[in-house]
Amino acid sequence: MEGGIHQNLLEHEAESSLFLKSKIWNETKKLWVVAGPAILIPFSTFGIHVISQAFIGHFSSIQLAAYALVFSVIFRVVLGFQFGMANGIGTLCGQAFGAKQYHKLGLYLQQSFIILLVATTLLTPLFIFAAPILKTLGQDHEIADVAGDFALWFVAISYLYALLLSFNSFLQSQSKNFILSLYAVLSLLAHIFFSWLLSVKLGFGVTGVMVSTALAYVMPNVGQFVYITCGGCKETWKGFTALAFADIGRTIRLSVSSGVMICLEFCYNTLLLLLAGNMGNAEVTIDALSICISISGWALMVAFGFMAAASVRVSNELGRRDVKAVKFSILMAVGTSFSIGLVLFVCFLVFREKAAYAFTNSEEVAGVVARLSPLLAFTLLLNSVQPVLSGVANGTGQQGIVAYVNLASYYLIGLPLGVILGYVFKLQVEGVWVGIIMGTAVQTAILVWMTCITDWDRQISLAQKRITPISLPKETLSP
């Protein structure tokens, strides 16, 4: 009798173990279906700028510092709003797709075009007046003047980026991953070739690099537009319509709160570069920091991939009204991203300045990068968790709350602490960076707490209300 009970318990444990393994494997596949292309896409888009920076860095250290200022300060502010707004609209796309309200995705895409292009136009003066803005912020005047010339190129790039982010959110929410991956790879490879051809082979120098940068964003925009409008998304794209303006106010509110949330994060890291520009030996310090930020940016793309995956998985499962699936997807996304972050943490502690020589020939700059590597490693570890939790907030539509969390953690704790350590205690750029890391740690802890106490049944109810306003006439819903 006892032996039979023991045997039954063993069989039950074996079945439970197999079920858990199957559940983990299935969720892992679902995560990587989104995360793989979501990593590849920002790897490509960010990689375009890293390649540009690498080519420019071999022409002049002043031009490298100027490009780094425009990209890491001015463009980062604009990109933060754009990326956040696109993610906010991606929340609506993901929830509508999960609820099988496919016709609404095309309307959200058109709303994304309108909102992001208007926002980009309003932010364009930041590029036009980049030089005086950077001088006002205390940057070296010679570097700021060169940066002003670079900034004009970023006007066109920012408009192209607005369209690209809209397409990406629309396609990503449907797991249309092949087309996203294809153009991500093609645009990156094309940029490497045209940068070499125009700047080195044909001798156009920095101008050739910037022309190649713009062309690298034209290619995916044209390709994805043709794919969407020519039958690639028959269920979700019904053509352009004035219905896109219906209830656009609700979409604007969600996208703006999401834009503020992400922009606060982007600008926070930018302040490290700005504060460093006010310290001694600005050119070397900015060059070294720009290299660290580039390396951090590459690694952050992995976390951004899982941020997108968490957002899509959470929003899809909320649309399907499956609480258990929501919780399990969050656990898997955070655990997988943290594991990768831990590996990167160890790698950058070991290799230190060796990676710097891909961006510069200066031993002095490489030495500063080596000195900052421990701080870079800790940043990579924290950044493997925090963006994924932000993705959970995106999936639930809680961007407004996270914006306040970011404001308090970054600008009331991290930044003041960094200024005190850097300037009062004379720890220079290391002190500023330590303060910024502490702010990120506080923000991560708050996001963990928020995720743990979330009422997911209530989030399902809110998700259903969020996607109900827009409707199409019945005759337009058939494929």
Nearest to 391 by CA among 99, 23, 100, 39: 39
Angle between helix axes 386-396 and 75-98 (nearest 10 degrees) is 50
Q: Which two tokens stand for residue 261?
A: 């949330």
What is d(CA 165, CA 100) in angstroms, rounded to the nearest whole number? 23
For residues 453 and 396, is the Cβ–Cβ distance under 8 A? no
What average pLDDT does this structure show over 108-112?
92
How many other CB atoms are found less than 10 A from the CB of residue 51? 19
What is d(CA 309, CA 329) in angstroms, rounded to the nearest whole number? 9
Q: Which two tokens stand for residue 343?
A: 């590996």
Q: Dump pLDDT digits (tens) for 340-381.
A: 999 888 887 777 667 677 666 777 877 888 888 888 889 889
- Predicted pLDDT of residue 5: 57
Q: Which two tokens stand for residue 383?
A: 């950044």
Q: Dump pLDDT digits (tens) for 469-478.
A: 555 444 444 4
What average pLDDT does this structure show over 99-103?
84
Domain boundaries, given as residue ranges, for the chain: 31-476
Q: Dump pLDDT digits (tens) for 243-279.
A: 888 888 888 888 888 888 878 777 776 777 677 666 6
Q: Supply the pTM of this predicted model.
A: 0.74
- Predicted pLDDT of residue 6: 54
What average pLDDT does this structure show over 201-210?
88
Q: Which residues of 356-393 are buried (b: 16+ CB within 10 A; e: fewer)?
A: beebbebeebbebbbebbebbbbbbbbbbbbbbbbbbb
Instruction: Give the phi and the psi of residue 407 in degrees, each rounded to 5.
Output: -60, -45
Residue 439 to residues 207, 342, 411, 415, Cα–Cα distance (Å): 38, 20, 8, 7
- Predicted pLDDT of residue 433: 86
Q: Dump pLDDT digits (tens) for 113-161.
A: 999 999 999 999 999 999 999 888 877 888 888 888 889 999 999 999 9
Radius of gyration for the alpha carbons in the chain, expressed in angstroms and rounded: 23
Q: Which two tokens stand for residue 77?
A: 């502010």
Residue 182 to residues 176, 188, 189, 217, 222, Cα–Cα distance (Å): 11, 10, 11, 13, 13
- Determine the 3-state secondary structure of 92 from DSSP: helix
For residues 51 and 212, is the Cβ–Cβ distance under 8 A? no
Name the band, by pLDDT with cuts 50, 70 and 90, for residue 3. Answer: low
Residue 163 to residues 193, 217, 344, 390, 437, Cα–Cα distance (Å): 24, 9, 32, 23, 33
Give Cβ neighbours of residue 405 (< 8 Å, ≥ 6 apart): 443, 446, 447, 450
Q: Which residue, chain included where needed, has tokens 């629309």?
A: 170
* Burial of 395 from C-beta contacts in 10 A (0-12 / 13-18 / 19+): buried
- Predicted pLDDT of residue 477: 43
Residue 204 to residues 155, 209, 310, Cα–Cα distance (Å): 20, 8, 43
**Secondary element (H or E) of residue 228:** none
Q: Which two tokens stand for residue 68?
A: 């780094």
Q: Which residue, chain included where needed, has tokens 């990326």?
A: 83
Q: What is the DSSP letter of 239?
A: -
End-to-end CA distance of the chain: give it in Å, rounded: 62
